[in-house]
Amino acid sequence: MSNLLSVKDLQVTFVTPDRTIHAVNGVSFDVKRGETLGILGESGSGKSVTLRSILKLHPAHRTKWSGSITLEGDEILTMGGRDLANLRGNRVSMIFQEPATAFDPVFTIGQQISETVRRHTGKSDADAMKRAKDLLEMVRIPSPAQRLKAYPHEMSGGMRQRAMIALALSCNPSLLLADEPTTALDATVQIQVLLLIRELQRELDLGVIFVTHDIGVAVEVSDRIGVMYAGKLVELAGVEQMVDTPKHPYSRGLLASTVHDGMRGQRLEAIPGAPPDLGEVPTACSFAPRCKFVEPKCLSAPPPLAPVGDSHLVRCVVAAA
């Protein structure tokens, strides 16, 4: 099966008068149609920056991109103007973390979904509004005809997130980007939304990239998981491989610091130290200062992303040895 999306050696740098931030430092991965790739990591690891780069959502005047992002063979990083506008919301859509701020508060849910449909498909007002109603039904919002007339603040957090999913799917995209879409929801609603995304992904044969800091969420929705640290993928593997045999010390630390059944009275294993300053280009393994397995060779040069098994890659000279 050919790749739907290919990201090769992506580097994203933010330049300000005061300093330069190397937010993403050579990330590469592929996503096939019908596959969900989960990207996992703590805050500041570069996962959301990577996701938003696929739509070039960062301010152009202070962002430098290099590398390649291709969607079905079309290079995204060189797109601009009308080509980029036609890509966003049409071929590639995003579910944002907080729909309360992603939706415009002065327009109804129906107006905002139907506007997107009209923009990309040329449908009439009536047909676009009918499509909006059908989408609300698809994401299981009750009384969809009434909800079309509701403003974002008149809906609960879970309903707003379902409406955001409907908006993202309104033009039948081939790739869906989800930027921590369940973070602001309570546990029960979170599970419902995760199951809905997974079901729709399979039903519509979507390629999905799901960004999260919660390994439980990543396992629930993903086919493969990529772990990011300091702007790089440090491990990439299938879900079972990642859970059963994580290779990178950072991946092991994330799994060890996750609460699960049978842990009452036990102390969590926290990862010591703090992430590195991304204002400087790393000259060695970025995780070395926090790693209990560090060796002298870890400090000589940044390690490559190397295979350690079937479809299992790790950026660690100790684990890959």
At 40-74, the pLDDT tens digits run 998 889 999 999 999 999 999 999 999 999 999 99
What are the structure tokens assigned to 38, written together?
């989960």
What are the structure tokens assigned to 115, written together?
């506007």
pTM: 0.92
Query: ∠278-280-282 over CA atoms, to 5°?
Result: 90
Q: In sequence order, what are the beta bridge partners of 69?
A: 7
pLDDT in tens, 96-139: 887 778 899 999 999 999 999 999 999 999 999 999 999 999 99
- The residues spanned by each domain of the chain are 3-91+174-260+268-314, 102-172
- pLDDT confidence of residue 144: 94
- pLDDT confidence of residue 271: 86
- pLDDT confidence of residue 209: 96
What are the structure tokens assigned to 293, written together?
């397995």
- pLDDT confidence of residue 170: 92
Category of 231 on φ-ψ map: left (φ > 0), alpha (ψ -120 to 50) or beta: left
What are the structure tokens assigned to 215, written together?
């390994």
Sign of CA dihedral 247, 248, 249, 250: negative
Count of CB atoms situated within 10 Å of the CB of 262 = 6
What are the structure tokens assigned to 35, written together?
């596959």
- Collect the ranges in the chain with pLDDT lower than 50: none
- pLDDT confidence of residue 263: 63
What are the structure tokens assigned to 37, written together?
């790739």
Count of CB atoms situated within 10 Å of the CB of 243 = 15
Domain 3-91+174-260+268-314 classified CATH 3.40.50.300?
yes
- pLDDT confidence of residue 76: 96
- How many whole angstroms separate alpha carbon 264 and alpha carbon 254? 18
What are the structure tokens assigned to 13, written together?
């740098």
What are the structure tokens assigned to 206, written together?
């979507």
- How many whole angstroms separate alpha carbon 128 and alpha carbon 203? 22
- pLDDT confidence of residue 305: 94
Burial-class residue 164 by CB neighbours within 10 Å (0-12, 13-18, 19+).
buried
DSSP state for residue 310 in the 8-state scheme:
T
Residue burial 105-143, b: 16+ Cβ < 10 Å; e: rest: eeebbbbbbbbbbbbbeeeeeeebbebbbebbebbebee
- How many whole angstroms separate alpha carbon 233 and alpha carbon 136? 36
